[in-house]
Structure 1
């Protein structure tokens, strides 16, 4: 019987199907990986792939992580490492001519292949398995590839066959299986629901190295059946005889009934269980459990997902809709404070229940302003336009929302809002018109009003983990949810495929944020403004309901471009147009506020004053001037500028002081020393600005 072995192709054979050396897996490993730990990336990528491959919308997907610190003995391990040691040695021999990742070099130097084989087993059930052709190369530009999961998992890198309603979008997620292994090796067994075939094949990503023929290899190697047919379009072939399949199940502890339980079992060889120089790269039971619970809390609550974590000598933990609250409360070591604390996660869980169970009578369904109903393409924009739109939608309900949120520590202390936004997709040939999409915002007041704000964002069933918009809003919590409707049971009419798809395409590979400047959303009209509109929802709504009832103040001096106009608030206002119109300076205590010399921005500087004491800190607020709806005049608004949105464009510099963005439109200067200076620049030159300073 022919048995599989680790093999590498010679170059340049089939060069179009294989890439050069790269470190794509580093997208998901170590401290530079989009702020995401390796264990977290592994959990997020493998579970989202399983959910994308679910049998149908009513199936509950089960994912099991088994951490086996007890190694297979050398005799059993040799079967699965057949041929690998030679190639590792050749890679090490090439280290003089190419840079090798330290972890690979260390693995080879310590001769880990001969020290037993431990593994991390990741399994999914109630999924389709890796379906699709196994006997030919798939050409994505000329074929329907949505069902070619085998090819895209095993052979394609940086490419995906996933479409709308799916979670993945980059085609890089599968490389996290390489990153999780000290040798970058994994072996997979898949049982397909389409043809009932069971297949075994492995893959590694090492480095180009010299083969026995004297020619260089490609960096990818495969644990597959031997082949010499290198010039054809036939890819590596998996093993599917009973002996290999049964041996895989026995050695790696797979319990999957043939022909009955479709899905995939991935054995990651020599996983990074041990501590290294980077704690972010260590994979542990607790990290896997907490990542699965936090990242997929929504489908767990929805009964769409069940996760089990198993480790030698430790009680297994199962997370599903019935156990999740107990697991959050008792099984996971969360951070002590902040939005990743146990208390916050439990409240996040409760906000999900509220969002899921609220009906049209219990939630506030906001209405688009008249001007947007008449002109769906009108851009909510950033700053003034966006805030004005939210204010018009929220104002009729502001008092009700304030009263709701004031009922602290009760089940009735939160409010659910459904927010509309108009969407147009130039690629939608079936219905090219503007369509109204919706997203939900859940707000609640924390019991401890002095604790920092916490906000959570979910698209379909994936928690977007890097968003932090209301940290400075002490006492508040928010949950923003966007659904494509592609995996719900149809009971909720919220499904907004255009909005969900735009946000999916705007996410980076680790799915940590919604990026307004993503080039992949250009076919959605005014995509950047729509993304900013969703991103700022919680922050803007909180600001509006916190506003005191007051009429917009008319400027005492109506001449545009005059600096030093007195404000009816405590502090000093400086108004600066696009270009400077005079060297007017405003003074307050021990500092001076003045426009920058180029007219674009403002400077706050130390100014000696013997009669005043240096304050502990100064609050600098930025406003834009906008026309009142009735055209009477201009006024400044506390919400129409947003540092959080504009940090990529606005430049801030300081000396002899420190600064922090404490509100969307406010910066706090502290640790002030004599001679301190702070400058703000990079503003939109087509707008007029008002800068207000006050002592904090």
Structure 2
């Protein structure tokens, strides 16, 4: 007999209503968008990849089913009537038979090519340390916020399965597993609601759908064949006898869309798909082209990405499809990666000319300048609290492009895209991909990611502090690895380029004699003077069609609280352009009327006059881009550093303003 079992609360029990589901909600979700879609896709797929059997690719299927496909009312009452008291806080109404009065459908997530939930299904206490046996059943069903995963796994926090319950309007999930180790088929469910009373007794929020419990009061999985067959049939599972796990999410949020799942699979896991390690099927209404199901594998991912809309947030890598052709080239050349010296053995690592031999660096710079793909395996020491330091490695792929467009850079740890990491906004004309394979560095970086696995964050210090020393500076080094390598491979020019502006300012003198230059031996003409040493600045300006960008420079560190004054005017045949600026040219105080566009990163920009902007720098990685000027006129841009009194600097530092 199947039933729900909740633990009774004793007088000494701490009363806590769970809120783990809030950890998996995306910031600033759009209208009609389920805020947990990204977390659902990432957690389901990373758990399946971690459980791979090692024979062939892992295959995962997401299937959204409409309300009309739910089991009949008698069966729904069997599943959910006991949950009614714990769902009062969600305003879920039930009819007299105990059926939730909801119009939502359900989601089925199934994986294949995995080991299923192996281990002792009756285990109720932590397994002994060092036990080589997998206890997946224990960790999946009997723990929340605790994990048996190691540094070689994508997940760490033990909260991944929370995404199933978070997507359910009734706060529960039901799961059928077929185990690779013994072929056993086991069924169980879990609900996490609120503290509630049932028949006058107070119960804990967590409960199990099971076949009863043993003398140790351990909930028992359902194994009766009739119950298993009925469950698989009425919830439309596709699994027969293949090992793996099938999870049903009943009454799933209406905002969860099949196209969103498909798009997020492509962004977050395109690398293992291209490597033929992962196949994902997505079925449900609303898919492009009136299709009922799409498959993402290494042969179809380009076609599928071409069918999807890419109008999402750039910060989440949803404004463009992933760079599939570039990634294929990178993966094909991974074995040719050039290793650096071991960095950071005595201090925090830095990316400078000591990372390579002089000959190697010269060759890499040459290839980068010729727009060839460059693959570099960056190696750095990772000091441990106990024992000798480990050597952490990742591979960086860089390639310059003929046009100075802005490209998204991708950081991929063990097959999963870390979506909030990117190159700095001012870096243009360079494609970048970072791949972190399993190893010590993947272990460290995984521990810094937090439950949502979207960034390498040095504020998540509890887990890394258990193993590593002086790790924060090293993590920051790897976060900026694309920027550091791109700057190293693009050295500043050491010779005067006399032809740089010849297309704009060269005037042929047809009547006057041309100056003659003294030729070198062999006939090459040269100048008789050495080029002047450039004056280094902590900022730099980069021109673009119809505008300019001002951003940080690698030459000097950015001063704290720095302010730049930017004066702009159209050039004139004579006179001072700044003094002759006209509001009919453009007006920074009225950018829309002047058709000007501003893009800011870590600065606060204030119009001090119609052609003067002051930039307050909030972070060393800053940029200001202004576009929309008349492309048929020459633009003069003057940059001045604003000197502040000490009292003004203190006032600025304590203002609490953070620019975006």
Same fold (TM over 0.5): yes
Name 1:309's counterpart in structure 2. Answer: 282
Partners of 2:67 and 2:615 lie apart in 1 by 51
Q: Give, in angstroms, the shift of residue 483 of structure 1.
A: 0.7
Listed as ranges, the gaps of 5+ residues in structure 1 are 93-99, 275-281, 485-496, 552-566, 574-599, 618-642, 682-696
Q: Is 1:548 matched up with 2:492? A: yes
Match 2:20 to one of 19, 24, 32: 24
Name 2:117's counterpart in structure 1. Answer: 130
Alpha carbons 1:6, 1:82 under 8 Å: kept: no
Alpha carbons 2:62, 2:281 under 8 Å: kept: yes
Q: Give, in angstroms, the shift of residue 73 of structure 1.
A: 5.3
Equivalent residues in 2 for 1:582-661, closer than 5 Å: 601-604=560-563, 659=615
Partners of 1:680 and 1:507 lie apart in 2 by 41
What whole-Å deviation, never above 9, does each CA across 1:52-72 have from its counterpart, x for those lacking one?
A: 11112x431110111111434
Equivalent residues in 2 for 1:455-470, closer than 5 Å: 455-470=409-424
Name 1:287's counterpart in structure 2. Answer: 260
Q: Is 1:319 matched up with 2:296? A: yes
Partners of 2:618 and 2:356 lie apart in 1 by 25
Name 1:78's counterpart in structure 2. Answer: 74
Q: Give, in angstroms, the shift of residue 322 of structure 1.
A: 2.0
Q: 1:390 to 1:515 in 2, by over 3 A?
A: farther
Q: Give, in angstroms, the shift of residue 679 of structure 1.
A: 8.2
Match 2:167 to one of 174, 180, 185: 180
Name 2:49's counterpart in structure 1. Answer: 51
Alpha carbons 2:316, 2:419 under 8 Å: kept: no
Q: Give, in angstroms, the shift of residue 568 of structure 1.
A: 5.3
Match 1:250 to one of 226, 233, 251: 233
Name 1:479's counterpart in structure 2. Answer: 433
Match 2:346 to one of 378, 388, 395: 378
Match 1:527 to one of 462, 471, 489: 471
Q: Secondary structure at the match of 1:167?
A: coil
Q: 1:179 to 1:464 in 2, by over 3 A?
A: same
What whole-Å deviation, never above 9, does each CA across 1:272-314 have from its counterpart, x for those lacking one?
A: 1x2xxxxxxx211111111112211111111111111112573
What whole-Å deviation, never above 9, does each CA across 1:61-100 have from its counterpart, x for those lacking one?
A: 11011111143456x35324426335324542xxxxxxx4
Q: 1:661 to 1:471 in 2, by over 3 A?
A: farther
Give the number of the structure with larger relative contact order, counting CA–CA contacts within 8 Å between residues 6 or more apart.
Answer: 1
Name 1:577's counterpart in structure 2. Answer: none
Q: Is 1:417 matched up with 2:376? A: yes
Alpha carbons 2:564, 2:614 under 8 Å: kept: no
Alpha carbons 2:119, 2:133 under 8 Å: kept: no
Name 1:334's counterpart in structure 2. Answer: 310
Match 2:397 to one of 433, 442, 448: 442
Q: Is 1:240 matched up with 2:258? A: no
Match 1:352 to one of 321, 327, 336: 327
Q: Secondary structure at the match of 1:534?
A: helix
Q: Secondary structure at the match of 1:327?
A: helix
The worse-fitting range, judged by mean Cα deviation, of 242-251 and 319-328 is 319-328
Partners of 1:379 and 1:513 lie apart in 2 by 24
Q: 1:446 to 1:70 in 2, by over 3 A?
A: farther
Name 2:62's counterpart in structure 1. Answer: 65
Partners of 1:253 and 1:549 lie apart in 2 by 65
Q: 1:29 to 1:342 in 2, by over 3 A?
A: closer
Alpha carbons 2:605, 2:616 under 8 Å: kept: no
Q: Give, in angstroms, the shift of residue 208 of structure 1.
A: 0.4
Q: 1:392 to 1:223 in 2, by over 3 A?
A: closer
Q: Give, in angstroms, the shift of residue 537 of structure 1.
A: 1.0
Q: Give, in angstroms, the shift of residue 395 of structure 1.
A: 6.5
Partners of 1:114 and 1:438 lie apart in 2 by 54
Name 1:689's counterpart in structure 2. Answer: none
Partners of 1:477 and 1:394 lie apart in 2 by 24
Listed as ranges, the gaps of 5+ residues in structure 2 are 496-532, 540-558, 568-575, 589-599, 608-612, 628-636, 647-660
Q: 1:264 to 1:517 in 2, by over 3 A?
A: same
What whole-Å deviation, never above 9, does each CA across 1:484-528 have from its counterpart, x for those lacking one?
A: 1xxxxxxxxxxxx11111111111111111123432212223211
Alpha carbons 2:52, 2:114 under 8 Å: kept: yes
Partners of 1:138 and 1:569 lie apart in 2 by 67
Alpha carbons 2:563, 2:615 under 8 Å: kept: no
Q: 1:513 to 1:82 in 2, by over 3 A?
A: same
Match 2:273 to one of 277, 300, 320: 300
Partners of 1:141 and 1:661 lie apart in 2 by 53
Partners of 2:147 and 2:217 lie apart in 1 by 20
Q: Secondary structure at the match of 1:454?
A: coil
Q: 1:401 to 1:268 in 2, by over 3 A?
A: same
TM-score (norm 1): 0.68
Partners of 1:163 and 1:119 lie apart in 2 by 32
Q: Give, in angstroms, the shift of residue 268 of structure 1.
A: 0.4
Partners of 1:442 and 1:206 lie apart in 2 by 47
Alpha carbons 2:562, 2:616 under 8 Å: kept: no
Name 2:633's counterpart in structure 1. Answer: none
Q: Is 1:262 matched up with 2:243? A: yes
Partners of 1:32 and 1:342 lie apart in 2 by 14
Partners of 2:324 and 2:561 lie apart in 1 by 43
Partners of 1:572 and 1:478 lie apart in 2 by 24
Equivalent residues in 2 for 1:560-571, closer than 5 Å: 569=535
Name 1:513's counterpart in structure 2. Answer: 455
Partners of 2:107 and 2:644 lie apart in 1 by 52
Q: Secondary structure at the match of 2:45?
A: helix
The worse-fitting range, judged by mean Cα deviation, of 465-474 and 153-162 is 465-474
- Root-mean-square deviation (Å): 4.2
Alpha carbons 2:4, 2:208 under 8 Å: kept: yes
Q: 1:145 to 1:223 in 2, by over 3 A?
A: farther
Please tell me whether Structure 1 or Structure 2 has the larger radius of gyration of its CA atoms: 2
Alpha carbons 2:34, 2:256 under 8 Å: kept: no
Partners of 2:86 and 2:314 lie apart in 1 by 49
Q: Secondary structure at the match of 1:45?
A: helix
Alpha carbons 1:205, 1:220 under 8 Å: kept: yes
Partners of 1:22 and 1:678 lie apart in 2 by 53
What whole-Å deviation, never above 9, does each CA across 1:94-113 have from its counterpart, x for those lacking one?
A: xxxxxx4xxx2256799971
